[in-house]
Homo-oligomer: A and B are copies of this chain.
Amino acid sequence: MDIKRYLREKRSLIEKALDESLPKTKEYPSLIHQAMRYSLFSKGKRLRPILALASAEVVGGKIKPVLPVACALELIHTWSLIHDDLPSMDNDDYRRGRLTSHKVFGEGIAVLAGDALLIQAFRLLSDLKSREDRNLKLILRVIKEISEAIGSRGLIGGQTIDLNSEGKEISLSRLKYIHSHKTGGLFRVALRSGTILSRAKKEEIASLTKYGEALGLAFQIRDDLRDKDEKSEQRKKKATYPALLGTKEAERLARLSKRKALSALKMFGERGEVLKELAESILDD
């Protein structure tokens, strides 16, 4: 299969849906809508939404009912980036080569823009108008799983420990906690959402959950390895897998995780191809 073409097509679908998911810039109060759009449309890879859509395809589901969830995941991801970058957190001036939200709009508006993106995600998730599929129980289950993945027992929990570990030496188990909660949780729930909404079987959901978790870890380590020299000063102070384990051991762990992710796809046979190719492309480009 032509994975590059697949990614291009899915991304264009997602960009369009994201554009429709937020009020236009001109809408009052324009400032908050400018700030929301500034961060959302900044050359993201749209990995999480793509994973949600692909997981639906792998279990034989349709893309359309998953699209609002896919967009919600990207809004949520953007909220977490804006708040992570704040002076009171990582204090980053740049993200993806552009000034961060608080550098452009000021800290107050950056906090509010993050909040508003998070809220808009739940607005999308609960909207039935845009949905063909109206299995309400499954929609509520997905809202619940997403809230759990990003709350104090999920992403926020990871960010709390991360913030609290700054400048300290931390253990491998703590590093694992941070990353499985900050990064892993959204990957995991992206895969689960797509399959749950596609009425997949329990075993299918379980396998794609494993795939999501392993992919998340491999992605994190690759990201650490790749950006070792490119990170901001502030981010360099953070513990990473290469820093804690050494480059070689970190690379070994990344390869191991990737193998785990791929082997979780076995039960899907040829249908799993897209997630195999996705993993290759995410981990090696």
| B interface footprint on A80-106 (CB within 8 Å = 1, 0 otherwise) | 000100111100000000000000001
Contact (Cβ within 8 A) A88 B106:
yes
Q: Scoring A residues 140 to 167 as 1 if CB is less than 8 Å from chain B, else 0, what string do you get?
A: 1101100110111100110111011000
**In the complex, A251 has a CB within 8 A of chain B:** no
Nearest Cβ in chain B — how far from A219, in angstroms?
A: 23
Chain B residues with Cβ under 8 A from A32's Cβ? 152, 156-157, 160
Cβ A112 vs Cβ B151 within 8 A: no
Asked whether A152 lies within 8 Å of B107 as measured between CB atoms, the reply is no
Task: Give the complex CA separation of A135 and B83 in angstroms.
Answer: 35
Interface size on A, residues (CB 8 A): 53
> In whole angstroms, what is the CA distance A163 to B114 when docked?
15
Stretch at the interface among A7-15, A115-123, A253-261: A115-123
* A126/B147 contact (C-beta < 8 A), A31-B160, A164-B31 known: yes
Contacts of A161 in B (CB 8 A): 29
Q: Is A136 an interface residue (CB 8 A)?
A: yes
Subset of 23 A-B contacts with CB under 8 Å: A23-B153, A31-B160, A31-B164, A32-B156, A33-B152, A87-B107, A88-B106, A109-B160, A109-B163, A114-B115, A115-B156, A119-B147, A119-B156, A120-B147, A120-B151, A122-B122, A122-B143, A123-B147, A126-B141, A126-B147, A128-B137, A128-B140, A128-B144
Give 9 A-B pairs besides A114-B115, A116-B152, A116-B156 with Cβ atoms closer than 8 angstroms: A32-B152, A83-B112, A83-B115, A86-B108, A109-B160, A115-B118, A118-B119, A122-B147, A136-B136
